[in-house]
Amino acid sequence: MSDIIRLLPDSVANQIAAGEVIQRPASVIKELVENSVDAGATDIKIYIKDAGKTLIQVVDNGKGMTETDARMAFERHATSKITAADDLFTLHTMGFRGEALPSIGAVSMVEVRTRVKDSQLGTRLVINCSRVESQEPCACEVGTSISVKNIFCSVPARRKFLKSDNVELSNIMREFERLALVNNNIHLSIDTGSGRSLDLRAAPFKQRISDIWKNNLNLQLLPIEVDTSLVKISGYVSRPEFARRRNPLQYLIVNGRNMRHPYFHKAVTQCYDSLIAPDTQPCYFVKFEVDPATIDVNIHPTKNEIKFEYEQEIWPILQAAVKAALGKFGAVPSIDFNSDVLPMEPLAKGETPEAPTLHIPEGYNPFTSAGMSAPSFSVPGNTEQTSFSAAQSLRPSSRSAGESFSSKAPRKWQTLYEEFMEGARTSREEADAASARLPEMEETSFSPICIQYAQKYIVTTSREGLLLIDQHRAHVKVLYERTLERVSHGGSVAQGVMFPETLRLDPEHRAAFAEVEPDLAAMGFKLEYDQEDKWRIVSVPSMLRNASATDIILRVLDSVMEDSVNYAGGKGSAGKDMRERMALVMARTSAIESGRRLSAEEMEHLVGDLFMLADPAFTPSGNRVYVVLNEQTLAGMLK
């Protein structure tokens, strides 16, 4: 039997590695910018064309590479960052695995121009899908310029499943924000070639936050600072009143590297318990400085997941720092024990306050007013008017000055009571007669009586058995189908608003908004550009009830950026898919929530609307709306 195990060629191995390292154009930008940072660059420029599908170019003024280094940089596991395994525990650079450049070169055409400071000429290197096509001297500036063209040209399946340009651009802008936040001491700029650009000067950390997200974010932040032998924590957290319902800005940074860490995220958010609404999240920008030997960054090729040796010890330190910031700067509500409950004039020494006296004339009856004088109130110390009549104070303003309050006839309270009791007696007799007729009804008749259980479920009956209906899912299904029906028939579903909401979009959301704007208009949302990344929502779908239009639009944009479907808004089945997802977001936001008490009429109306649908059993996302308990099932449960 012949041997069957073979060593893969480097080109194939690089393409396999590229599947983990290079997931989309944003991944290329991340790897190239981190290399520029490791090279000591203070000025990094990024140029994009067609959302990175045609061109990604990163130009820096770092120390550059020699002719040999430029060629070796595209070999697997070739790196200048480490030389031994022990160096993994003293890392001070962003990269160290030696996989990024070979992976990029395996799936695209790469052109490198680089020159070191002591050389008069630089080097130009061209690599096409792992094949070196040329390497020659060239004239260029000190530093490195890397151009990545036609990404995923060697992996057509991966290129086919890239999202639309606007969605990929949103991911690029989001990655650029992370890189710019970490490297606030570096001048960074990006030109997307589609009118969207960002130029960030080197600035302190708080100023960099304000430069990226604007919207007076720096006025909403509280500084945190703690320095221990185990960890140094610094950064900013938002005031509780500025917690966000959608798109919270939450960044954790360790030793100059972005990371995802659910444990520390929970430590921060727990500090806001009882300070913010349950459906909101605080913004935070927290930096950790620890001994590199106490963390492990070599978990995933993207190096975003990091393990801490002392994470349980860092937890209380982080919480104490956040709570101290919230308390020190008055973000936690306090009670002023020095203020009076009610303003009052001070009494003289030895003087006691006097209460008003009430004088009730003898024989006064509040139910008869003829010939009776009303009680009067005397206020001590009031020399201008010592008393006033209760009848005068209660006299309606519509009564004429000459009309006497006593002109009314005495009220016949006994007659009114007898009439009320007679009506109650008649109602009971009618109810008893109706209940006596109930047994005569046929057993097959449908009873419309609905009962709410736990303020979550509607219990009713049908010919098939007992129905248990989830009220939230049922309303989601009804609103979803109703919205799609109106849109499919071309009916007008929009209504103007008297006081337009203001919508602010971050750079990554602006790209996604351009993608879905036609579909938003088809659903009934009309937005007008105001100024500096602000839009006014001037019309909303008519079905929108007790829901924020801003929240719905942000949910739609998040859905676009997270969805893996490649679509073009408004064209064919792709546009239909987009509107279906919009309708689902609107239905979920506007639907009756679990925990809300419903009246009998509301339950009957909801059940009637549900069972008028063609397929009422499941929600658009596949969740069951109701269950049926027939006689056999109930009998089996009771055995």
Q: What is the pLDDT of residues 19-35, one digit of tens each?
A: 667 888 999 999 999 99
Q: Is the pLDDT of residue 77 over 90?
A: no
* Both structure tokens of 142: 């000190």
Alpha-carbon torsion (263, 264, 267, 268), positive or negative: negative
Considering only residues 569 and 297, tell me which one the structure prediction assigns the higher pLDDT: 297
Q: How many CB atoms lie within 10 A of CB 336?
A: 6
Which residues on neighbouring strands pair with residue 109, listed in sequence order?
128, 149
Considering only residues 565 and 426, tell me which one the structure prediction assigns the higher pLDDT: 426
- H/E segment holding residue 522: helix 507-523
* Both structure tokens of 63: 């120390």
Amino acid occupying residue 621: S
Q: Which among 111, 121, 125, 126 is positioned nearest to 141, based on CA atoms?
A: 121
Where, residue-wise, is CATH 3.30.1370.100 in the chain?
Answer: 467-610
For 53-74, what is the mean pLDDT?
93
* Range name among 57-66, 373-382, 411-420, 436-445 with the lowest pLDDT average: 436-445
Residue spans of alpha helices (H) in 108-164:
156-160
For 541-551, what is the mean pLDDT?
74
Task: Identify the band that residue 85 occupies on the pLDDT scale cut at 50, 70 and 90.
Answer: low
Chain-centroid distance of CA 342 in Å reads 42
Residue 383 is predicted with a pLDDT of 47
Residue 423 is predicted with a pLDDT of 65
Chain-centroid distance of CA 75 in Å reads 42
Domain 467-610 coded CATH 3.40.50.1860:
no
Report how far residue 472's alpha carbon sits from residue 458's, in angstroms, rounded to the nearest whole number: 10
Task: Identify the band that residue 189 occupies on the pLDDT scale cut at 50, 70 and 90.
Answer: very high
Q: How many CB atoms lie within 10 A of CB 363?
A: 9
Considering only residues 400 and 373, tell me which one the structure prediction assigns the higher pLDDT: 373
Where, residue-wise, is CATH 3.30.230.10 in the chain?
Answer: 205-328
For 412-417, what is the mean pLDDT?
57
Q: Is the pLDDT of residue 367 over 80?
A: no
Q: How many CB atoms lie within 10 A of CB 440?
A: 6
- Written in H, E and C, the secondary structure of 265-299 is HHHHHHCCCCCCCCCCECCEEEEEECCHHHEECCC
Where, residue-wise, is CATH 3.30.565.10 in the chain?
Answer: 10-200
Q: What's the mean per-residue pLDDT of the chain?
A: 79
Q: Is the pLDDT of residue 408 over 70?
A: no
Task: Identify the band that residue 490 occupies on the pLDDT scale cut at 50, 70 and 90.
Answer: low
Which residues on neighbouring strands pair with residue 115, listed in sequence order?
143
On whether the CB atoms of residues 599 and 503 are closer than 8 A, the answer is no
Residue 145 is predicted with a pLDDT of 96
Q: Is the pLDDT of residue 456 over 60?
A: yes
Report how far residue 523's alpha carbon sits from residue 420's, in angstroms, rounded to the nearest whole number: 54
DSSP 8-state code for residue 571 = S
Chain-centroid distance of CA 624 in Å reads 26
On whether the CB atoms of residues 180 and 212 are closer than 8 A, the answer is yes
Q: Is the pLDDT of residue 369 over 60?
A: no
Q: Quick one: CATH architecture of 10-200?
A: 2-Layer Sandwich (3.30)
Task: Identify the band that residue 571 occupies on the pLDDT scale cut at 50, 70 and 90.
Answer: very low
Residue 438 is predicted with a pLDDT of 38
Residue 341 is predicted with a pLDDT of 47
By DSSP bridging, strand 43-49 and strand 187-191 are parallel
Q: Is the pLDDT of residue 113 over 50?
A: yes
Amino acid occupying residue 110: V
Report how far residue 225's alpha carbon sits from residue 235's, in angstroms, rounded to the nearest whole number: 7
Residue 391 is predicted with a pLDDT of 44
Residue 559 is predicted with a pLDDT of 73
Q: ∠ at Cα 124 (122, 129), nearest 5°?
A: 150
For 92: left if phi > 0, alpha if psi spans -120 to 50, otherwise beta; the answer is: alpha
* Range name among 103-117, 378-392, 413-427, 596-610 with the lowest pLDDT average: 378-392
Domain 205-328 coded CATH 3.30.230.10:
yes
For 132-144, what is the mean pLDDT?
94
For 415-429, what is the mean pLDDT?
62
Q: ∠ at Cα 603 (602, 604), nearest 5°?
A: 95
On whether the CB atoms of residues 288 and 255 are closer than 8 A, the answer is yes
* Both structure tokens of 361: 């004339």
* pTM assigned to the model: 0.63
* Both structure tokens of 328: 């020190």
Q: Which among 239, 285, 302, 265 is positioned nearest to 95, based on CA atoms?
A: 302
- DSSP secondary structure, 399-418, as one string: S-TT--GGGSPPP-HHHHHH
Q: Is the pLDDT of residue 340 over 70?
A: no
Hey, which of 223-227, 392-396, 532-536 has the most confident mean pLDDT? 223-227
Which residues have a Cβ under 8 Å from the Cβ of 209 and sit 6 or more positions away?
A: 181, 217, 218, 221, 236, 285
- H/E segment holding residue 558: helix 549-562
Task: Identify the band that residue 89 occupies on the pLDDT scale cut at 50, 70 and 90.
Answer: low
Nearest 10 degrees: Cα torsion 15, 19, 21, 22: 90
For 165: left if phi > 0, alpha if psi spans -120 to 50, otherwise beta; the answer is: alpha
